[in-house]
Structure 1
Amino acid sequence: MGSRHITETGIFMSSFAAMVFVSGLITVGVSLLSLLVALAVMLHSCESRNSGVLEMHRYKDNYEYCRYFALHAELNSLDADSLPAMCRDIDRLYVKEGQYGRDLNITVGIAEEFFGSVRPQVDSRDIVLIDADDLTSETLFSYYLTHRINEDPLHGNSRDPDYLRYTFARKLYLKLQSDGWPLILFSRKPEKLRSAMAEYLISMGCPGWSSLIMRKENQMQMGFQEFISGQRIILQREGLRIIAVISSRMDALRGPYLGNRMFKFPSPMFRHNMENHVESQSREE
Structure 2
Amino acid sequence: MSAYGHQMEREYSAQSILAGEGSETGSHYTSEAGIYMSSFAAAVFVSGLVTVGISLFSLLVALTVMLNSCERQNSGVVEMNRKTPSYDYCRNLALHAELNSLSEDIFPEICHDINAQYVKEGQYKKDLNIVVTIAEEFFSSIRPQGDGRDVVLMDADDFLTSETMYVNQFMYWINKDVLHDSSRDAKYWRHFFALKLYLKLQAGQWPLILLSRKPQKLRNDTVEYLTSVGCHGWSSLVMRKDNEMHIDYEEFLSRERRKLQEEGFRVKGVISSQMDSLRGPCLGDRIFKLPYPILGHGAKAHAENQK
Residues 1:277 and 1:155: Cα distance change in structure 2 (over 3 Å)? closer
- Cα distance, 1:135 vs structure 2: 0.8
Distance 1:184 1:132 in 2: 9
- 8 Å Cα contact 2:216/2:240 also seen in 1: yes
Distance 2:80 2:118 in 1: 15
Which residue of structure 2 aligns with residue 246 of structure 1?
271
1:264 has 2:289 as partner: yes
- 8 Å Cα contact 2:249/2:276 also seen in 1: yes
Trace 1:34-49 onto structure 2 (pairs within 5 A). 49=70
Letter in 1 for 2:296: R
- Cα distance, 1:67 vs structure 2: 1.1
String of CA shifts for 1:223-268, please: whole Å, max 9, x gaps: 1101111110111111100000000000000000000000011011
- 8 Å Cα contact 1:79/1:277 also seen in 2: yes
String of CA shifts for 1:128-183, please: whole Å, max 9, x gaps: 0000000112x238x99xxxxxx965798496111100000000000000000000
Letter in 1 for 2:153: L
TM-score by length of 1: 0.73
Indicate which of 204, 220, 223 corresponds to 1:195.
220
Distance 1:89 1:228 in 2: 34
Structure 2 portions without partners, runs of 5+ = 1-58, 167-172
Indicate which of 75, 79, 96 corresponds to 2:103.
79
Letter in 2 for 1:118: I
Indicate which of 194, 197, 203 corresponds to 1:169.
194
Residues 1:120 and 1:190: Cα distance change in structure 2 (over 3 Å)? same
- Cα distance, 1:64 vs structure 2: 2.5
- Cα distance, 1:57 vs structure 2: 3.6
Q: Secondary structure at the match of 2:256?
A: helix
Number of corresponding residues: 238
Indicate which of 151, 154, 179 corresponds to 1:127.
151
Q: Secondary structure at the match of 1:239?
A: coil
Trace 1:59-208 onto structure 2 (pairs within 5 A). 59-61=82-84, 62-137=86-161, 139-140=162-163, 153=175, 157=179, 160-208=185-233
The range that moved more, 78-87 or 169-178, is 78-87
Distance 2:196 2:305 in 1: 30
Distance 1:203 1:50 in 2: 42
Residues 1:258 and 1:74: Cα distance change in structure 2 (over 3 Å)? same
Distance 1:154 1:208 in 2: 30
TM-score by length of 2: 0.68
Residues 1:282 and 1:125: Cα distance change in structure 2 (over 3 Å)? closer
Which residue of structure 2 aligns with residue 6 of structure 1?
none
Indicate which of 185, 210, 227 corresponds to 2:235.
210
- 8 Å Cα contact 1:140/1:152 also seen in 2: no
Letter in 1 for 2:237: L
**Aligned residues: percent identity?**
52
Q: Secondary structure at the match of 1:221?
A: coil
- 8 Å Cα contact 2:81/2:114 also seen in 1: no
Higher Rg of the two aligned structures: 2
